[in-house]
């Protein structure tokens, strides 16, 4: 039976390499669709947690893991030799930046080497990890063909960028269109057959490079527009204007405008990272992507803007930042998630610490954080005496915060997310970016 028929009849054994916020939901979707699924991860603690029915991903519950295990069609392992038993492999490993802001594709290389070691005829390999255009064809393909098998004939290779948005209650893996670009047309068709069994809409593109570029465009678009609105916020402040009022008014235009909102800086696994992949690739081709670099420059300065606002807030009450008690609300990079990767809160905390502030934070999604050799633990919300702190800074607007109660009880609040809206009663206590 060929792979197309196996997929159609749900007789294919599907596998996912990398069981993080992308790979784990992918596994569960395939299990729910009726496939036998094997999840691989080099992190033995993650494997043990899943085997016990315990989730470490915010959007996945323990019950979902237990239900998947109960089907007896889902297993997880760190033994990559089991790859020889599977029909498809989706690679969902991290692609961070090095300290030099250059792409780190070492996880892709390591995963590809493991897959290549056990590659067999008829297998489908799909890379989902965000990377620069050309990675699939220049890095993954040569490694897979080393043992004599030919792509499009003996095995199939495609790129399909992940589009997971942690915490998004409206769009999930199933109802978010899936981009697929194959190394050959046969590869595109095979990957379409696989993902079409779990995703409502498939968008084929002409090549793996095109699919890789799609993902970078999506997040570069967001990074550049956030950079623009962050600069507008700085300009509005200089003009003594309310940037939030201006954006809301502009957003009433039914065409030609898409609202973006200022904030304390970029965070997360995509927006602060992906444009660097594109920038790095283009610099190698002797082209300087000026929009990207300008947006990165503005966005990277926003934690400093927040600190300046804290200094201003304290000065209003004739206090110095040196020795002041500062409470940070929310250290996750976005609302209602437990992820601190690239979170601007970490830079804000470090900048305030350097100025001599006494730092505290509260975030029930992130109970402990480590940054630049300093360890912090979250306070318990119900034990906080708000007026004990010289300044409260709202960095991440988690839904469980009662913001009106917080501002009513606090000495002064710096609001980085417009979480307080228009509370005229407490106008003198609120400083916004």
393 close to 360: Cβ distance less than 8 angstroms: no
What one-character-per-residue DSSP string does 259-318 give?
-----S---SSSTTTHHHHHHHHHHHTT---HHHHHHHHHHHTHHHHHHHHHHHHHHHTT
Please return the burial class of 382, using the count of CB atoms within 10 Å of its CB with bins 0-12, 13-18 and 19+. Answer: exposed
3-state secondary structure 20-63: CCCHHHHHHHHHHCCCEEEEECCCHHHHHHHHCCCCCCCCCCHH
410 close to 291: Cβ distance less than 8 angstroms: no
From the list 270, 366, 391, 416, the catalytic residue is 270
- Helix, strand, coil: what percent of the chain each, to 5? 40, 15, 45
Annotated catalytic residue 27: no
| Pick from 46, 44, 42: nearest CA to 17 | 42
| Pick from 206, 261, 267: nearest CA to 236 | 261
Residues noted as catalytic: 270
């Amino acid at each position: 039976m060929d792979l197309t028929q196996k997929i159609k009849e749900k007789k294919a054994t599907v596998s996912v390499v990398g069981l993080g916020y992308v790979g784990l939901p992918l596994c569960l979707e395939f299990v729910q669709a009726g496939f036998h699924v094997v999840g691989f991860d080099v992190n033995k603690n993650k494997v043990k947690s899943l085997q016990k029915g315990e989730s470490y991903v915010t959007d996945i519950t323990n019950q979902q893991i237990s239900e998947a295990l109960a089907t007896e069609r889902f297993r997880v392992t760190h033994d990559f030799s089991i790859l020889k038993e599977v029909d498809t492999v989706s690679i969902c490993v991290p692609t961070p930046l090095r300290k030099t802001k250059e792409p780190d594709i070492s996880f892709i290389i390591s995963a590809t080497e493991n897959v290549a070691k056990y590659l067999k005829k008829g297998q489908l390999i799909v890379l989902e990890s965000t990377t620069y255009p050309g990675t699939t064809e220049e890095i993954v393909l040569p490694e897979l063909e080393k043992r004599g098998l030919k792509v499009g004939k003996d095995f199939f290779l495609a790129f399909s960028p992940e589009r997971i948005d942690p915490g998004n209650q409206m769009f999930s893996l199933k109802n978010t269109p899936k981009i697929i670009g194959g190394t050959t047309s046969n590869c595109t068709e095979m990957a379409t057959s696989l993902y079409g069994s779990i995703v409502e809409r498939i968008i084929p593109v002409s090549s793996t490079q095109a699919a890789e570029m799609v993902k970078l465009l999506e997040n570069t678009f967001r990074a550049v527009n956030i950079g623009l609105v962050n600069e507008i916020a700085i300009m509005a402040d200089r003009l003594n204007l309310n940037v939030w009022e201006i954006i809301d008014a502009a957003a009433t235009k039914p065409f030609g405008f898409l609202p973006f909102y200022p904030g304390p800086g970029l965070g997360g696994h995509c927006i602060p990272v992906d444009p660097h992949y594109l920038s790095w690739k283009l610099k190698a081709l002797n082209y300087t992507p000026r929009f990207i670099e300008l947006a990165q420059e503005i966005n990277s300065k926003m934690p400093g803007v927040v600190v300046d606002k804290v200094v201003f807030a304290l000065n209003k009450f004739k206090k110095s930042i040196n020795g002041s008690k500062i409470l940070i609300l929310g250290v996750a990079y976005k609302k209602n998630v437990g992820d601190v990767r690239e979170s601007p809160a970490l830079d804000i905390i470090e900048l305030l610490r350097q100025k001599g502030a006494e730092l505290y934070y509260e975030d029930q999604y992130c109970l402990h954080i480590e940054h630049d050799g300093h360890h912090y633990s979250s306070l318990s919300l119900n034990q906080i005496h708000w007026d004990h702190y010289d300044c409260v800074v709202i960095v991440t607007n988690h839904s469980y915060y009662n913001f009106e109660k917080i501002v009513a009880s606090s000495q002064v609040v710096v609001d980085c997310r417009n979480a307080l809206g228009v509370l005229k009663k407490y106008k003198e206590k609120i400083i916004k970016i």
